[in-house]
Amino acid sequence: MSIFKLAAAAVITAGWLTAQTGATLPLIHDSKPRVEAPAEVDWKMTTRPTAGGVLISLKLHNRGTEPARLGKAYLVDGWLDLPPAAVALSMSGWQIPSLVKRINERVTSEVMMQAAGGSRALNLGFVSFDRIYTEHAVWPEAGRLRVQSWCDFRQWALPPGQEIETEELRIAATADGFRGLEEWASAVAARNHPRIWREPVAGWVGWSWVDPFHSERYEDVVRRNARAIRERLNGFPIQYIWVSLGNLKGRQPGNWLAWNYQSFPSPPQKLIADLGASGFKLGLWAGAFWLSAQLEDKVERLNSALLRKDGELLFVPHREIGKVYILDPTNRKTHDWLRETFSTYRQWGVRYFMIDFLDSISDVITGRYMPSSYADSTLIPGPQTFRRGIEVIREAAGPETYLLASTGPALHSMGIMDGVRAGSDYGEGRALDGPGKGFYPGTFVINKADYWTSHRRAMEAWASHYFMNGKLFVADTGNVLSVDQPIAVSDAQISATIFGLNASPLMLGDDIERIAPSRLEILRKVFPRGGQSAVPVDLFESPSPDYPKVFRLNVTRNWDNWQVVAVFNFGRDMLRRRVSFAGKQTVWDFWNERSLGAHEGGIDIDVLPESVRVIRVARERDHPWLQSTDMHVRQGEMEIESAEWDAGASTLRFTAVRPAGYTGTVFLRAPAGWAVAEPAGLWIARDGSDNTLTIRVNVEFGPTGRVSRSIRFERFKP
Query: In the chain, count of helices (H) and strands (E)?
Result: 10, 43
DSSP per-residue letters across 99-115:
EEEESSS-EEEESEEEE
Q: How many percent of the chain have pLDDT more than 90?
A: 90
HEC readout, 259-304: ECCCCCCCCHHHHHHHHHHCCCEEEEEECCCEEECCCHHHHHHCHH
Distances (CA, A) of 393 to 62, 242, 386: 35, 18, 12
**pLDDT tens sequence across 288-312:** 999 999 999 999 999 999 999 999 9
pLDDT over 70 at 27, yes or no: yes
Of 507, 524, 541, which closes a domain?
Answer: 524
389 and 283 part of one domain: yes
Measured CA to CA, the distance from residue 529 to residue 200 in angstroms comes to 6
619 and 484 part of one domain: no
471 and 566 part of one domain: no
With vertex at residue 93, the alpha carbon angle to CA 91 and CA 97, rounded to the nearest 5 degrees, is 60
Of 130, 164, 192, which closes a domain?
Answer: 192
Measured CA to CA, the distance from residue 451 to residue 407 in angstroms comes to 17
3-class DSSP state for residue 182?
Answer: helix
Whether omega before 159 lies within 30 degrees of 0, making that bond cis, reads no
Give 173's strand partners.
122
Measured CA to CA, the distance from residue 262 to residue 180 in angstroms comes to 53
172 and 31 part of one domain: yes
Which residue from 338, 380, 318 is spatially nearest to 157, judged by alpha carbons? Answer: 380
Query: Do residues 596 and 634 make contact, with C-beta atoms less than 8 angstroms apart?
Result: no
**Is 66 a domain residue?**
yes
* Domain range for 443: 202-288+339-524
Count: domains in the chain: 3
Looking at residues 620-649, what average pLDDT do you find? 98
Looking at residues 373-388, what average pLDDT do you find? 97
**Is 91 a domain residue?**
yes
Give residue 605's region: left, alpha or beta (phi > 0; psi -120 to 50).
beta
**pLDDT tens sequence across 164-188:** 999 999 999 888 899 999 999 999 9
Instruction: Say which DSSP state 161 is in.
Output: T
3-class DSSP state for residue 51?
Answer: coil
pLDDT over 60 at 571, yes or no: yes
Looking at residues 611-630, what average pLDDT do you find? 98
Amino acid identity, position 363: D
E strand or H helix that includes residue 221: helix 218-232
Locate all alpha helices (DSSP H) within 359-482, ordered by sequence: 383-397, 455-465
**pLDDT tens sequence across 389-402:** 999 999 999 999 99
82 and 46 part of one domain: yes
Measured CA to CA, the distance from residue 658 to residue 638 in angstroms comes to 9
Q: How many percent of the chain have pLDDT more than 70?
A: 96
Q: What is the CATH number of the domain that holds 676?
A: 2.60.40.1180
Q: For the whole model, what pTM was predicted? A: 0.95
Model confidence at 49, pLDDT cuts 50, 70, 90, reads: confident
E strand or H helix that includes residue 519: helix 517-524
576 and 711 part of one domain: yes
φ, ψ of residue 424 to 5 degrees: the values are -90, -165
Query: Do residues 405 and 356 make contact, with C-beta atoms less than 8 angstroms apart?
Result: no
Q: What is the CATH number of the domain that holds 346?
A: 3.20.20.70
Of 509, 524, 539, which closes a domain?
Answer: 524
